[in-house]
Amino acid sequence: MSGLFEQNSKIGDYTLLRKLATGGMGEIWLAERKGISGFSKRVVIKTILECFADEPSLVDMFLQEGRIAAGLNHPNIAQTYDLGQVGRTYYMAMEYVNGRDLRNILLANVKKKQLVPLNLVLRIAAETCEGLYHAHTWHTPDGQHAGIIHRDISPQNILVTFEGKVKIIDFGIAKAAQSASRTRSGVLKGKYAYMSPEQVRGKQLDPRSDLFSLGVVLYEMLTARRLFKRDSELSTLDAVLESEVPSPKRFDVTVPKEVEDVLFKALARNPEDRFQDARQMQLALEEVMISCKLPASSAHLAAYMDEIFHDSLQYEQELEQMTNSNLMSMMERLPSASGPGPKMERTKPFAPGMSIEEPEISEKRELTRNLLPSVSSGQIHRGGKTTWHWAVIGLLAMILGVASWLLVKTLANPNTRVEIVDAGKTTKEAEGLSIKTRQDAKVQQTQAHVDSSMDAGTKLPKTDEKKTEGDLALGLNLSDKPDDNKAHGKTKRPSYGWVSISTAPSATIYKGGKILGVGSVKKLKLRPGRHKLLAKLPNGAQKVFHVKVVAGKTASTSVKFVKGKLRIVVHPWADVWVDGKSAGQTPMGALELMEGPHKVQLKNATLGKDIQKTVFVKPGKETSLRMDWR
């Protein structure tokens, strides 16, 4: 494709400085506008090719979108300044964003065999949501809802500046580019992997389509894997329609479950199951950053950008070298999430000058560890002298003080009792406090040496496994009320039940992402209530089912997968493989297959045809796959 303009040539009031990229619709230039008294402002000029001038509907759409984009005024959206025409060429002047798009950031980390820090990925996604919400809800000056949908949320259209700001670009031409693709091949090359299922199907879009696309971008930034990219465009579109999302923990075990939950919700196949607007998604991301202690701000992003692109001269050199086509080629070579790939270094939060990682703390730590400062050497230093003996004395005094306070408080309640459990002594019933020593071994001995004055059916109370931290540290078991069940020889009602599950054919049974068994599970112990489980066949077919557990009872349930039929019709003919096995040659009868997804490969060596498709077989129904190669 020959260039429309040359360096230092003029387009309107702008002087073209350097070509940044050439795309399917036109060219992108770094340009400058000069004025009086040394005034100068750099902008980005986007043009559309002269050949599109022959499509009036496309030109009208481009101009309309440009006018709307000019009205968007938000810090997370690159501004549109001007819309003009030179001869048969239409152009748009947009804000020059001094930074890098997400492709540059991701590939810079991949080169070092590491992942982008998790806290920064979440911050970029949250800022993108803020910009999208502004665009999705924007009203024209006359109060009309503009109904803007980006339609092309992808790594190349999300930029991070060297000041740590996040910018969305190309709002002005997204819809026009999609319209052009109906008549011009190659315009959306590389973009199919970021489309939503409804966009692939050509359905009416709403803002939730952009959120799905952002979910894809978020997944790839988290894992350095292409979520839906496959070997061919057709296979990529099939992958989008399937929307099967592997857990990001497969590639980075440090990804918190809360991040997974946000990711899976954004990538739900059904728009009704996604976040209903960008603000909902942003709030969810902000909550995750707070709850998982993953702070990130524009300052963090700026520091990180300076770290990975540290030399301003290097910025300019890379701009020359990393052309749009080079970046696309490098992104194409990233491994797919559905296959093997190189292992990356574990994601670490980026927070220069501060520690944001929580230390690992034992669940059974003693209460006193909360009350004393941690000392690495086991001694407390004060005035340059070691005074560890004073620390021990203070600790003992603290324990005695707490014990005395608890004893006095409990004795003030006449409705409680005292159980004194010690080695070789009997249990005495009285009004007051129930005190147990912390010598678990001796407690067991007292059970074997019960005083003869006790009733034959009386047993010493066992140590409570659910003691509080105070119980563990001080050996106290406080009880405001007598244990009526024990006093009257009653047993507690069971706090759990059981369920047995079988599947046909054999399927893997999951609960909360954990495998319970394959084929069947017998007497699974669960808390009373309703539980959600999942059964999944090796071919990917899955069924979600619920079981109701009643305390003290055993329930059983079975999950059955049903076969369906697949009818393959190819003109003139094709050799057929299903799930890697030869199924014969068309024309052929309907194939009986288990419900769920199946990989179908069709070959015709004479015509040079070889395609692969994923077909979903519906239970008890016939599904058709038709191809006409004549």
With H, G, I as helix, E, B as strand and everything else as coil, classify residue 292.
coil
Distances (CA, A) of 441 to 229, 424, 454, 475: 61, 12, 21, 13
What would the 3-class secondary structure string for 571-615 be? ECCCEEEECCEEEEECCCCCEEEECEEEEEEEEECCCCEEEEEEE
Which residue out of 101, 152, 170, 252 is catalytically annotated? 152
User: What distance in Å separates the CA atoms of residue 149 and residue 213, rounded to the nearest whole number?
Assistant: 12
Cis omega (within 30 of 0) on the bond before 461? no
Instruction: State residue 543 phi and psi, 5-degree precision.
Output: -135, 130
With H, G, I as helix, E, B as strand and everything else as coil, classify residue 52.
helix
Tokens of 450: 């019960």
Question: Long-range contact list for 365-368, CB < 8 A, 24+ apart?
Answer: 365/469, 366/469, 366/472, 366/473, 367/469, 367/470, 367/472, 367/473, 367/474, 368/395, 368/398, 368/399, 368/473
Residue 167 in contact with residue 161, Cβ under 8 Å? Answer: yes
Residue 117 in contact with residue 349, Cβ under 8 Å? Answer: yes
User: What distance in Å separates the CA atoms of residue 440 and residue 423, rounded to the nearest whole number?
Assistant: 10
With H, G, I as helix, E, B as strand and everything else as coil, classify residue 185.
coil
Distances (CA, A) of 134 to 130, 162, 250, 371, 554: 6, 23, 34, 48, 53
Q: What is the DSSP string of 85-126?
A: EETTEEEEEEE---EEEHHHHHHHHHHTTBPPPHHHHHHHHH
Query: Using CA of residue 273, residue 278, residue 280, residue 281, what is the dihedral sign?
Result: positive
Residue 455 CB neighbour total at 10 angstroms: 8
The count of C-alpha atoms lying within 13 angstroms of the C-alpha of 418, restricted to the half-sphere facing its C-beta, is: 15
User: What distance in Å separates the CA atoms of residue 363 and residue 453, rounded to the nearest whole number?
Assistant: 40
The count of C-alpha atoms lying within 13 angstroms of the C-alpha of 588, restricted to the half-sphere facing its C-beta, is: 22
- Amino acid at the residue 153: I
161 membership: H or E segment, kind and range: strand 158-161
Relative orientation angle of helices 207-223 and 118-136, to the nearest 10 degrees = 170
152 has catalytic annotation: yes
Residue 559 in contact with residue 543, Cβ under 8 Å? Answer: yes
Catalytic residues: 152
